[in-house]
Structure 1
Amino acid sequence: MAANAALEDNYAVAFGGKAGFGRFPALVLIDFVEAYFAPDSPLYAGVEDALTSALRVREAARAAGVPVILTNVTYHPGGIDGGRFFEKVPALEAFIAGNPMGAWPKGLEPQADEIVLTKQYPSAFFGTSLAATLTARGIDQVILGGLSTSGCVRATCVDAMSHGFRTAVVADACGDRHPEPHKANLFDMNAKYADVVSEEAIITYLSELETIR
């Protein structure tokens, strides 16, 4: 196909399949922390709408009895456990243990029955117990929302698929510091690794779980 063909038509030749929904989902909300909401933070992204959507999805997941996992990033003082990622991105100093930029935003405080998973690298699966935890609970579907779309959400999405989970990315519950990387990465994840869906679609799925099961 000609390189200048319409984007959707071009990709449809090779991609366009659907992962579909599983029967036993878990919700993973990635790195919703103050660093992305505080205007004086170098990581500020103005992604309040994504958080608002994520909170609604979380409420629906909890109502359906679906496990909820919240991730954050924390580094040892000096970033000695951050490796090349910490070297590459100086702004990650915001996540050194004790920095208020690593705190949960209002409304997303972890509940007693929710897992908090702390990571040092983009993917929530890399160097963590996430895959084992999901597998042990019989999870076959991972629902993702978080920050940022082009970084930790994308990395987690690729690894979720690679670990054998059906993966859905909730577009409304993801955000980035600029709309172009956000849109491009949603497009690419939807083409290759996951189904990118709306908040409305995922809440409908969650509300119908008893029927599905």
Structure 2
Amino acid sequence: MDAATDEIYDRAGFGRPVRRGVRPAVLVVDFSYGFTDPQYPTGSDMTDQVLATQRLLGAARSAGAPVLYTTIAYDGGQRAALPWLHKAPGLAALRPGTRLAEIDDRVRPAEADTVLVKTGASAFFGTPLAGILAGLRVDTLIVTGATTSGCVRASVVDAVQYGYPVLVPRECVADRAQGPHEANLFDMHEKYADVVGLDGVVDYLGSFPNATAHPTTDPAEVPA
């Protein structure tokens, strides 16, 4: 954005840094083949962002941080009834049991990870995500995935509204077009999250011992 825009947002009090907690989790939003494989009309080449997320997941698992995924899939009744699919009918191709709804193998879930199926933009809408995060005593959410202007943004906004400070590693989120991608990174950073470099997030995760994010850890034992 230009300097004038930056000045307007700064004067309004936007863009301040969020706090970093000691029990982070990673949320991978819709890195399914329907979005990451350009052979599908809903997809595009997200190779760089998927591989960056692969690196992030390695750091998260080394730190003992929970990893959660979402994918989108619609059954026959949902395809007929949901207003979103009247606005964006291409999404109706995302059906249960098809490759389009499968998580990209390059960031495949581990056995201990959680995979949630959603039918809305936000990872929180109509899913048990909020309860799972509360049960894990997560205090910071790191959000990656697709698309920046759609499901990533919706998930980030809801995460803040549920009380979670949010980090968005810019190398780990992708969109179909650069304009919406950049505009939404700017807006999220100003209002809802810290949009930051992947190296910094990896360093943040690396600052914790392996047991830090384990749900049975006594908070008194977690380093400040």
- Which category describes the TM-score, using the shorter chain as reference length? over 0.9
**Quick one: distance in 1 between partners of 2:45 and 2:99?**
17
Q: State the Cα distance separating 1:106 from its structure 2 match.
A: 2.4
Contact 2:49 2:172 survives alignment (8 Å): yes
> Runs of 5+ in structure 2 lacking a partner?
210-221
Q: Confirm or deny that 1:10 pairs with 2:8.
A: yes
Aligned length: 210
SS at structure 2 position matched to 1:28: strand
Partner of 1:46: 45
CA deviation string 1:50-81 (max 9, x = no partner): 10111110110000000000110111125348
**Quick one: distance in 1 between partners of 2:112 and 2:131?**
18
Q: Confirm or deny that 1:87 pairs with 2:86.
A: yes
Partner of 2:142: 143
Q: Identity percentage over the alignment?
A: 36
Q: When you count helix as a share of all residues, which structure comes out higher?
A: 2
> Runs of 5+ in structure 1 lacking a partner?
none
AA matched with 1:139: V
The 1:128–1:81 alpha-carbon spacing in structure 2 relative to 1, beyond 3 Å, is farther
AA matched with 2:174: G
**Quick one: distance in 2 between partners of 1:185 and 1:18?**
17
Cα RMSD for the two superposed structures: 1.7
Q: Point out the more displaced range, 60-69 or 87-96.
A: 87-96
Contact 2:156 2:166 survives alignment (8 Å): yes
**Quick one: distance in 1 between partners of 2:89 and 2:103?**
21
Q: State the Cα distance separating 1:24 from its structure 2 match.
A: 0.6
AA matched with 1:8: D
Contact 1:45 1:178 survives alignment (8 Å): no
Contact 1:34 1:105 survives alignment (8 Å): yes
CA deviation string 1:113-137 (max 9, x = no partner): 0001111000000111101110111
Partner of 1:156: 155
The 1:81–1:54 alpha-carbon spacing in structure 2 relative to 1, beyond 3 Å, is farther
**Quick one: distance in 1 between partners of 2:193 and 2:18?**
6
**Quick one: distance in 2 between partners of 1:122 and 1:13?**
31
Q: State the Cα distance separating 1:6 from its structure 2 match.
A: 1.8
TM-score scaled by structure 1?
0.93
Structure 1 runs, 4 residues or longer, greater than 4 Å off? none
SS at structure 1 position matched to 2:170: strand
**Quick one: distance in 2 between partners of 1:82 and 1:50?**
33
CA deviation string 1:144-168 (max 9, x = no partner): 0000000000000000000001111
AA matched with 2:5: L
Contact 2:118 2:127 survives alignment (8 Å): yes
SS at structure 2 position matched to 1:118: strand
Q: State the Cα distance separating 1:10 from its structure 2 match.
A: 1.8
CA deviation string 1:3-26 (max 9, x = no partner): x96221121111121112111111
**Quick one: distance in 2 between partners of 1:200 and 1:61?**
13
